[in-house]
Chain A
């Protein structure tokens, strides 16, 4: 059973307003049957120092990733994870997290690979909830285990592999990293550790639209008009575009994927989760350095 959508006028202009909830809506609906709140953070211990009452933690490193392959868990793994968390296939899942919902958006994207139908983001994430003085607890959440079905993960619609990206060159490609990473001055986000890319720069023809442009000062998504100005007017993306977004490991680009797909309604958007940590280490793939997007290699 799913829960009614947040009718907030703040979301009315978005292509899929049902994908966002406000902090007030969530507070009003905590405990509703059919609603499960999930916290997903960069820091694996943040949930333990205080979380939204009744929420469960899903960690991207230790739970959504396969422990051996560089890949996500498979259908059986996702089924046992969500069953243990007490999530049913038809539950409404609201995800929130730290860092402007980077990891929350990433988790939402992974849930979407498994076709979990009703999965939403808390606009503003963990910081907005806490800044507004809403309830936080360190009490452990116990939910009765469920029997989440084994669903085959479908990567074809939402995920791009490196060969897909090579074949995609010439179509819209959005590099959501910082300008320093894009030009090739560095391979990691400022203040982030090196994560093993051997070369710096960007994929030819990719436009640099740093992920953070999609959010306002308060960490909430910008308005429809502002997002349209950035992605449609400036970056030239239209309804018919076939878009691939990438970053360093796919988390910041999940955030942009969410904005493009759910907020401004671009149908075909894929996240290249291999991102720079794969592309920057591949042998003989084309790379461009500097501020210019560059050309499709002949």
Chain B
């Protein structure tokens, strides 16, 4: 396990690893319940967001770089997809406030390191990996222009 992840992501990881495997789903559910609403400028204009095709439910993400140079990530996922909402909530919480370089340096295997692979299954974790990859790609595009 790499320690190179930004502290916000390391904290989430440690939070999951500290609880027994059987309770990690409950923690994921807490994250799911805390996913903030998409701001109206995106909620009303899904075309300005990106669909995460790796997720089995309709999940949309959008990343911005603010005037302070820090990243803000927003995501939406339907209430009947709590696992996906949990993944989106973890990433939006941990990525928002990072610098673009920190986001680009997040290891692609981060979703596999938070102790959920067995609890939710590898196939489902792939949805979170897809979300992270797309988030990084959006930042790469924003910083390239």
- The answer to the question of A193 belonging to the interface, with a C-beta cut-off of 8 Å to chain B, is yes
Interface residues of B in 26-42 (CB under 8 A from A): 26, 28-29, 32
* A173-191 at interface with B (beta carbon < 8 Å): 191
Q: Check A193/B82 contact, CB under 8 A, given A61-B124, A62-B121.
A: no
B116-131 interface code vs A (CB 8 A; 1 in, 0 out): 0011110110110010
A193 in contact with B83 (CB, 8 Å): no
Q: Which of B32, B57, B82, B123 contacts A195 (CB 8 A)?
A: B123
Chain A residues lying within 8 Å of B118, measured Cβ to Cβ, are 62, 67
Task: Give, as a whole number of angstroms, the nearest-CB distance from A249 to chain B.
Answer: 9
Instruction: Kindly specify which of A12-20, A24-32, A43-51 makes contact with the partner chain.
Output: A43-51
Query: B55 to A193, Cβ gap below 8 A?
Result: yes
What is the CA–CA distance of A72 and B3 in the complex, to the nearest angstrom?
37
Q: Interface size on B (CB < 8 Å)? A: 27
Known contacts A193-B53, A193-B55: does B126 contact A49 (CB below 8 Å)? no
Chain A residues with Cβ below 8 Å from B120 are: 44, 61-62
Complex Cα gap A67–B54 (Å): 22
A42, B56: Cβ atoms under 8 Å? yes
| In the complex, B84 has a CB within 8 A of chain A | yes
* Cβ A43 vs Cβ B29 within 8 A: no
A98, B80: Cβ atoms under 8 Å?
yes
Report the count of interface residues on A (CB-CB < 8 A): 17
CA of A208 to CA of B56, assembled, Å = 22
Q: Which one of B29, B32, B56, B130 has the greatest number of beta carbons of chain A within 10 Å? A: B56
Main SS of the interface on chain A? loop
- B residues near A195, Cβ cutoff 8 Å: 123
- Shortest C-beta distance, B58 to chain A (Å), equals 7
- Chain A residue nearest in CB terms to B55: A193
Report B43 CB to chain A, min CB distance, Å: 20
A residues within 8 A CB of B53? 191, 193
Choice from A42, A45, A59, A193 contacting B126 with Cβ under 8 Å: A193
Interchain CA distance A59-B121 in the complex, whole Å: 10
Chain A: residues with CB nearer than 8 A to chain B? 42-46, 48-49, 59, 61-62, 67, 98, 191-195
The 8 A-B residue pairs whose C-beta atoms are closest, nearest first, are: A61-B121, A45-B82, A193-B54, A45-B83, A43-B83, A48-B29, A44-B120, A49-B82
Q: List 19 A-B contacts (CB under 8 A).
A: A43-B82, A43-B84, A44-B124, A45-B83, A45-B86, A46-B83, A48-B82, A49-B29, A59-B121, A61-B123, A61-B124, A62-B118, A62-B121, A67-B118, A191-B56, A191-B58, A193-B55, A193-B126, A194-B54
